Structure formats: structure tokens, C-alpha cells
Amino acid sequence: DAGVIQSPRHEVTEMGQEVTLRCKPISGHDYLFWYRQTMMRGLELLIYFNNNVPIDDSGMPEDRFSAKMPNASFSTLKIQPSEPRDSAVYFCASSLALAGVGTDTQYFGPGTRLTVL
């Protein structure tokens, strides 16, 4: 398996523009997570899905952020409108389960580095 795939790897945009980040989880994984990494807050969970259904979006910072998972192999994180404080690295991760020895291990994608000017 190619692992978790994210695109684009880098995104530079101007304030006010819409940004869409994409993720393809590992095949067969039932859970998908979106994280944001910043120097100040480290790795923060934004939202996670189980079998394509959003379970907990309490980490989504504002209504400007939205995430979808239309099928088991694709998810998007959208920011509209984007702001400079959204600049961060956004990671997608997937896992087989939430609990269980070995099965709850999260596998991360390489991340998307977002810069909002």
C-alpha cells in the first residue's frame, strides 16, 4: 500500500481565497483524521470520520473550516475564506480502529504545508 496520500504538498494562497486539501487513506482503514500542526499548539485534532461519517468535529476552529468524506477512499478539508493564521501543516491520518493493540495505530500522510499571505 502506498500509505496515506495527501495533496497538494504545498499550497500558497492569498487571504480570502478558498483552499481545499485532499486525502486518500490507507485502503481498509475505517477511521480518518485531520490534524493541524503549529509551533504554538503542536498537533491538534480537527475532525475524525468513521466509515465516512464525521464523528467529532469539535476541533474545527471556525465555521470557515469544513471537511467531507464522500467515500472510503477520499476526504477533503476546506477553508473558506482563508486567513493568515490558518498557515500551518495539515496532516491526514487513518487507522483500522480506535482501540486495540496495533489496530489503533494512526498512519499519517506527509502533510500539506499551507501558507496564507
Partner 1 sequence: DQQVKQNSPSLSVQEGRISILNCDYTNSMFDYFLWYKKYPAEGPTFLISISSIKDKNEDGRFTVFLNKSAKHLSLHIVPSQPGDSAVYFCAAKGSYIPTFGRGTSLIVHP
Interacting residues toward partner 1 by CB under 8 A: 4, 9, 33, 35, 39-45, 48, 56, 91, 93, 98-99, 104-111
| Long-range interactions of 78-81: CB distance < 8 A, separation 24+ | 78/18, 78/19, 78/20, 78/21, 79/18, 79/19, 79/114, 80/18, 80/19, 81/15, 81/16, 81/17, 81/18
User: At closest approach, how far in Å is the CB of 62 from partner 1?
Assistant: 20
User: Cβ closer to partner 1: 74 or 107?
Assistant: 107
Considering the complex, what minimum distance in angstroms separates the CB of residue 15 from partner 1? 25
